[in-house]
Structure 1
């Protein structure tokens, strides 16, 4: 991947770069896995009679048990964020209600961003020219893929910049860093 560059102004502004075939295939694979994970979560939401009558979509009221989904769909409040609220209130009713109401829209937004990324990828590699709206969707999708990969790898402040070549996660960490650089360069181009 080359750096992102701005071309044009106003409604003709495009954020441009290029990807080789392997980069496109890697992004398609990772975004496909992310989409599948989020779609399964949405499809497994319990049905609610009132929601069916009103047309208001509701989702799960409990946090995902899966570590990766938990990173993508975290609780809205944690006990360490607001000392005034008791941990039982934050972890119970408030998070359940907020999750049930908001999770379907959050999943839809993540899936929409992923779809925009997939649709704007050049077949077999090549040039990319994104509108500002598409570039923002790319940022969302790249961030979600990074979060998912980071959760699977257990990325923390203590994770080294590089693993030895024979480490089972060496290639995955390289991909994580590649996604990070791609995202940073895209942010810079948008600024």
Structure 2
């Protein structure tokens, strides 16, 4: 992948790069997997009769059991944030209520960003030309994919920069680092630097 570049001014600003075939295919596969994960979560939400009547969509009130989804859809409030003000039960109730209300919108935004990537991704590689709004969607989707991959790999401050070549997750860690570079270069281009 070449660096992202900012071209034009005002409303005609475009963020451009060129992707190799394997880069385009990899992004396509990763984003589709993330969208599928989000859709499965959305589709498994309990149905609410009041929501059917009012049209107000509600989601799960409990956090995802899966670590990857948990990273993409974290709790809104951590018990340690206000340990002196609230007990664990109140915190769980608060998280459940907030999750039920806001998770459908968060999922829709993540799926929408992913779909923007798929809609603007050149099949088989080639030039990518994005408006600033599309570039923001790319940032969202690439970040979500990185978070999901990082959760799957258990990446933390003790994770080495690279695994030995025969390690089962060596290629996945390389992809994680590559996505980090893609994201960083896109941020730089959006900032106009």
Fold in common (TM above 0.5): yes
Give the ranges of 4+ consecutive aligned residues of structure 1 lying more than 3 Å apart after TM superposition: none
Q: CA RMSD in A?
A: 0.7
Residue correspondence of structure 1 range 15-164 to structure 2 within 5 A: 15-83=15-83, 84-90=85-91, 92-164=92-164
Q: Output the TM-score relative to the length of structure 2.
A: 0.97
Contact kept in structure 1, 2:61 and 2:99, CA below 8 Å: yes
The CA deviation string for residues 18-70 of structure 1, in whole angstroms up to 9 with x for no partner, is: 10000010011111111111101000100001111111000000000011100
**Per-residue deviation, 1:162:** 0.6
Count the aligned residue pairs.
Answer: 190
Classify the secondary structure of the residue corresponding to 1:81.
Answer: helix
Shift of 1:86: 1.9
Q: Normalized against structure 1, the TM-score is what? A: 0.98
Gaps of 5+ in 2: none
Matched residue SS, 1:134 = helix
Q: What is the CA distance between 1:80 and its match in structure 2?
A: 1.6
Distance 1:115 1:129 in 2: 15
Task: Report the Cα distance in structure 2 between the residues aligned to 1:35 and 1:165, rounded to whole angstroms.
Answer: 30
